[in-house]
Chain A
Amino acid sequence: MKFSRLIRANPQQKKMNEKHYKEKLSAYLNHELPKEERQLIGGHLLQCESCRKEHDEIKLGAALASHLKRADAPQAAWNEIEKALDGKVKTKGSLISHFSFFGSRPFVATTALLIGFGLITVIYLGLAGNKSQEIAKNEPTIQNAKVEIPQTVSTPNEILANQNVNTEISPNIQIPAQNANPNVQILPEVNPVQPKNRLNEILTAQNKLPSWNVETIAGNLTLAEKGKLNVGEFLETNSNSRAKIQVANIGQVEIAPNSRVQLVKTNSNEHRLSLERGILQAKILAPPRLFIVDTPSAVAVDLGCEYTLEVDAAGNSKLHVTSGFVALERDGRESIVPAGAICLTKKGRGLGTPFSGDSSIGFQNALFRFDFANGGSESLQTIIKESNLYDALTLWHLLSRTQKAERGKVFDALAAHIKPPANITREGILRLNKKMLDAWWKEIENVWFE
């Protein structure tokens, strides 16, 4: 994963790799190389401890993979295939005559045209219907409010296109006090959104609390208003239900069964959910720190990413980031969790240290003891001993989570995996010089995502 790319990214290490054949070791083990090259690598392995170590690791992986088994499909698989075929084909031996047209280009083209035409018609009719209802519903209010509508806004289609986004209000909206409708509820949180959204914002704000759209994926959901999650409202799924929440206009959150979330806040500066228990998967495309999820043991701050966040019955949480970054925060402490990494929190024990999803079980256990079970120096020793290139992320975080005597050991371990940039000194890092820590992190971050 990411850190093996580091080897390729760093010119010095690249040079080392070319010299060492590490990239060819699986091909060597699987007899995929020409005889001469095999002999060359075999000879090199006798002399090079570093390559031998890597060879042994790959060999272990290959030996483990050899335990995978083949199996026959159950008889039911064929029975169901036959049923499916019988359902579509009446007479044996006439399959082609029945199906050749369906696979033909004229059929595909005709179908595509029909579907396209149908979709356009449905969209047009649907929009036209909604448009007239929505405009009729809001017309008097608009007249009372006498809002100055910019020229750029205001085609009905634009209004409708923005309808599902949210109910944030732009600070730029001018409503003359003498003409303002007293029923118009201007929400305290204001929104510097594009001018073209203004009319929509006013229309929705006049009638509703801020809310997010909710789609039921499975089972039933109980919400005050069907398909909407209002600020302050809880959404709870049972063992059979799942839901997808549209997070304003910045992304989506899928809620797994047996979960409970609350929409805490939504405005231009912050969209905030609280996950009391269960699992959510977030996919957010927005500037950093706009989407936040509270859990009983930490706060997950989106830095532009996709992730899964789980909270168990005891309030412990597990964050697994699959794209971008998430910051987990608690009591002034922060863990930066990049894609491919995991971070745990334990209620009452605070924030864990992030680790690569590919780190060894021994490493993960030692880190768990260090973070949550008073593992102290003994655990730290194991962490350092077990660490490899993949664990630079963890070691960097541990620099500021260890005492000075132990920090030196962490520094050495990290430096062995990723050489500190030229402007970084050991003393500076031991003093937790922020600039130096940031510079080293940048190095880690660059190679992690390269």
Chain B
Amino acid sequence: MTEKRTEQDLLAECRNGDREAFESLYNQNQKRVFSVALNFFGGDEALAKDITQQVFLKIFYKVGEFRAESEFTTWLYRMTVNACIDEQRKTRRFFSIENFFGEFKVKKTQDEKIQQREVSDEVQKAIATLKPKFRLPILLKYVENLSYQEIAEVLDCSIGTISSRLNRGHKMLARKLEHLKSEI
């Protein structure tokens, strides 16, 4: 409750153009934005940093529009999600066929590879290959620990849709990374 008051106070001060309040708001929330963006883009720190900057600059200029009808974090996550999707549309990365054929070539030594790489890196990379509609609920659930209700609010869809997308997202992830089964 105290934290919420503080957040409301900070938002009110930000509306008055207080840079120190904005810095505090940034410090309290930067991890949320950066973590979602980092995992959305498969661990690309530079992109995640860009997204974080974009989102907070937008917050700075638009904080007056935030009506407090929803939680500030819902607004924050929604902006983060939109920024990630926009960025992906803009950069629409090309993927390399060499990696694909390479993937088959190195299968025999995959056990060695798994040992070398962190499980979390593999998960991060695999998540980034899912479609955003499956990727985002997973990130909001497992990175940010939001409830289905909160995820539904951020993504502006029903809890049933979130539940169904998480179901499918989990299965896709399990199929992609079944070779890690013994590692976890």
List residues of chain A with CB within 8 A of the CB of B126. Answer: 64
Q: CB-CB < 8 A to A310: which residues of B? A: 94-97, 100
Contact call B61/A103, Cβ cutoff below 8 A: yes
Residue of B nearest to A318 (CB): B97
Complex contact A73–B94 (CB within 8 A): no
A96 and B15 contact, Cβ closer than 8 Å, known pairs A81-B53, A318-B97: yes
Interface residues of A in 65-89 (CB under 8 A from B): 65-74, 76-78, 80-81, 84-85
Asked whether, in the complex, the Cβ of A72 is within 8 Å of the Cβ of B30, the reply is yes
Q: Does B104 contact A74, Cβ atoms closer than 8 Å?
A: no
Say whether A63 contacts B184, CB under 8 Å: yes
Question: Given the complex of chains A and B, what is the CA–CA distance between A60 and B97 in angstroms?
Answer: 28
Q: Given the complex of chains A and B, what is the CA–CA distance between A311 and B97 in angstroms?
A: 7
Q: Chain B interface secondary structure, helix, strand, loop or mixed?
A: helix
In the complex, chain A residues whose CB is within 8 Å of the CB of B94: 256, 279, 281, 308, 310
Is there an interface contact between A84 and B53, defined as CB atoms closer than 8 Å?
Answer: yes
Among A386-420, those with CB < 8 Å from B are 388, 390
Docked CA distance A305–B110 (Å): 35
Closest to B160 in A: A23
Residue A358 at the chain B interface, CB threshold 8 Å: yes
Structural contact, B172 and A77, CB atoms closer than 8 A:
no
Q: Mark B155-184, 1 if CB is under 8 A from A, else 0.
A: 000010001101111111111111111001
Q: Are B26 and A61 in contact (CB under 8 A)?
A: no
A281 to B92, CA, bound (A): 10
A68 and B172 contacting across the interface, CB-CB below 8 Å: no
User: Chain A: which residue is nearest B27 at the CB level?
Assistant: A78
Does any Cβ of A come within 8 Å of B34's Cβ?
yes
| CB neighbours of A222 from chain B (8 A) | none
- Of B31, B33, B45, B180, the residue contacting A64 (CB under 8 A) is B180
B-contact bits for A24-64, CB 8 A (1 contact / 0 none): 11110010100000000000000000000010011111111
State whether B174 touches A61 (Cβ < 8 A): yes
Residue picked from B57, B64, B107, B168, most chain A C-beta under 10 Å: B168
Q: Which residues of B contact A71 (CB under 8 A)?
A: 31, 34-35, 38
CA distance A24 to B164 in the complex (A): 8
Stretch of A129-137, A261-269, A359-367 that contacts chain B: A359-367
- When distances are taken between beta carbons in the complex, the residues of chain B under 8 Å from A361 are 175-179
A312 at the interface (CB under 8 A from B): yes
When distances are taken between beta carbons in the complex, the residues of chain B under 8 Å from A103 are 61-62, 64-65
How far apart are B92's CB and chain A's nearest CB, in angstroms?
7
Contact B61 A99 (CB under 8 A): yes
Given A32-B147, A103-B62, A316–B172 Cβ distance below 8 Å?
no
> A64 contacts B34, CB within 8 Å?
no
- Choose among A60, A65, A71 the residue with the greatest number of B CB atoms under 10 Å from its CB: A65
Contact A58-B170, Cβ < 8 Å, known A72-B31, A308-B94: yes
B142:A68 contact, CB within 8 angstroms: yes
Q: Which of A60, A65, A97, A317 contacts B181 (CB 8 A)?
A: A60
A9 at the binding interface (Cβ < 8 Å): no
Of B19, B52, B104, B163, which is within 8 A of A77 by CB?
B52
The list of the 10 closest CB pairs from A to B, nearest first, reads: A61-B170, A95-B17, A73-B34, A310-B97, A61-B174, A65-B142, A70-B35, A60-B174, A61-B173, A26-B166
In the complex, 28 of the A-B residue pairs with CB atoms within 8 angstroms, ordered by the A residue number, are A4-B168, A25-B167, A26-B167, A30-B141, A30-B148, A32-B148, A57-B170, A60-B173, A60-B181, A60-B184, A64-B177, A65-B127, A65-B138, A69-B143, A77-B52, A78-B23, A81-B57, A85-B57, A93-B19, A95-B60, A281-B94, A308-B94, A316-B101, A317-B97, A318-B100, A360-B176, A388-B175, A390-B175
